[in-house]
């Protein structure tokens, strides 16, 4: 059990009790709304609210004779629904009251998300709240919940091939090399290894392949409410592997080289990051593989790279590192318990809904995952 952001005033207090705080899209949140009154209050309304919000902030240095720094802020609702749970047509007497409730979340929203890079940040967070109010008084309580969006469909047997021209340190041509990056799937939990295969065909090359480098990176795009944007790419894992493919040789199909990149050792770095296409926040992950020969010219090394977009989703065990403290019931706690109230997400109860989707990113190479339950768009 736990509680957060409880608000008390002279007439009493209100708080929300939940049995857990991490939910999949479509899950049912079960809890209890507790409130206590120290004095009688007029007829009142008890309101329940579930909301998701995106917030962004970044700084940009403007060059000139006198450099200056501009700050940009964005804030929109991912969702916001409000329900009238109970309405009293008579005064409410002093005492303790408990109203059990269930709330079925919507089938697909952008998952909880956190990106912090120096003074720049982007958040997607969700909260449930309750409010008991009348024309004179108001009691409020709120608690945050962690939402996870796991795609129900994924692409399998994903591959990308490339033909590169081999040159040595003197930029002399040394034939051609074909290689392909293959994945059995394109979607991974953040606690499982990324396994991939690499076909290498060096039958038309005259330089030996002796190494392969794999890199995992992500790109963030954030916007404010005026559609100004901020983009950055961050590499957070690179690993080199020894391979030996001499001129005239090839490794393909059953002989393809299998590699694995474990996300476990970097899980703390991406604990709150995942593939997302929200309203003002986009995050895309990429697996890059580079072929390294025994005499690669630095002028061409970037051309020896294949890059595939992949989807990273939080594991079910992902969630807040620190759970809210357990509720300690006061001595003699004996509330008036009402019948359970069952609610579910319905757009007709939405208040201050999401703004229009931002324009597509034509230059940032951010893959679009607006709704992970639908087929993902290709890299743009």
Domains present along the chain, CATH in parentheses:
7-150+316-349 (2.60.40.640), 156-313 (2.60.40.640)
Q: Flag the least confident range among 9-13, 121-125, 313-317, 369-373.
A: 369-373
pLDDT attached to residue 155: 75
Is 170 exposed, middle or buried (CB count within 10 Å of its CB: 0-12, 13-18, 19+)?
exposed
Question: Rounded to the nearest 5 degrees, what angle is found at the Cα of 18, between the Cα atoms of 370 and 316?
Answer: 45
pLDDT attached to residue 380: 31
pLDDT (mean) for 283-305: 76
pLDDT tens-digit map of 174-231: 688 888 888 888 888 888 888 898 888 888 888 888 888 999 989 999 999 888 899 9
pLDDT (mean) for 232-243: 86
Would residue 200 be called left, alpha or beta, if left means φ above 0 and alpha means ψ between -120 and 50 degrees?
A: beta
Q: How far apart are CA 5 and CA 48, in angstroms?
A: 15
SS3 state of residue 302: helix
Contact 224, 359 (CB under 8 A): no
**Residue length of the chain:** 380
More confident position, 85 or 266: 85
Q: How confident is the model at residue 357 (pLDDT cuts 50, 70, 90)?
A: very low
pLDDT tens-digit map of 4-16: 444 567 778 899 9
pTM for the whole thing?
0.79
Q: Please report, rounded to a whole number, the percentage of residues in the chain having pLDDT higher than 90.
A: 37
């Amino acid at each position: 059990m736990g509680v957060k952001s409880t608000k008390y005033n002279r007439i009493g207090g209100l708080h929300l009790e939940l049995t857990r705080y991490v939910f999949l899209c479509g899950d049912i949140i079960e809890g209890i709304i507790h409130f206590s009154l120290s004095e009688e209050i007029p007829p009142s309304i008890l309101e329940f609210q579930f909301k998701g919000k995106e917030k962004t902030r970044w700084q940009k240095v403007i060059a000139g004779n006198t450099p200056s720094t501009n700050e940009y802020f964005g804030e929109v609702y991912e969702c916001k629904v409000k329900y009238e749970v109970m309405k009293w047509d008579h005064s409410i007497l002093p005492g303790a009251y408990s109203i059990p409730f269930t709330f079925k979340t919507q089938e697909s929203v952008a998952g909880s998300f956190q990106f912090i890079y120096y003074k720049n940040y982007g958040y997607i967070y969700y909260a449930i709240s309750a409010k008991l109010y009348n024309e004179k008084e108001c009691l409020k309580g709120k608690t945050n919940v962690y939402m996870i969006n796991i795609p129900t469909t994924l692409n399998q047997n994903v591959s990308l091939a490339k033909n590169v021209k081999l040159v040595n340190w003197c930029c002399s041509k040394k034939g051609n090399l074909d290689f392909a990056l293959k994945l059995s799937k394109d979607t991974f939990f953040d606690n499982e290894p990324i396994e991939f295969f690499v076909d290498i065909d060096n039958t038309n090359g005259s330089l030996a392949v002796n190494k392969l480098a794999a890199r995992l990176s992500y790109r963030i795009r954030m916007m404010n409410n005026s559609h100004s944007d901020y983009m950055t790419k961050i590499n957070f894992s690179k690993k080199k592997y020894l391979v030996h493919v001499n001129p005239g040789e090839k490794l393909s199909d059953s002989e393809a080289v299998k590699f694995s990149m474990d996300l476990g050792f970097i899980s703390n770095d991406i604990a709150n990051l995942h593939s997302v296409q929200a309203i003002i926040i986009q995050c895309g992950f990429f697996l890059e593989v580079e072929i390294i020969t025994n005499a690669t010219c630095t002028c061409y090394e970037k051309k020896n790279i294949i890059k595939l977009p992949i989807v990273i989703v939080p594991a079910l065990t992902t969630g807040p590192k620190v759970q809210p403290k357990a509720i300690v019931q006061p001595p003699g706690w004996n509330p008036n318990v009402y019948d359970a109230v069952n609610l579910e997400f319905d757009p007709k109860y939405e208040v201050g809904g999401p703004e229009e989707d931002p324009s597509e990113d034509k230059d940032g190479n951010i893959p679009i995952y607006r709704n992970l339950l639908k087929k993902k768009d290709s890299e743009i």
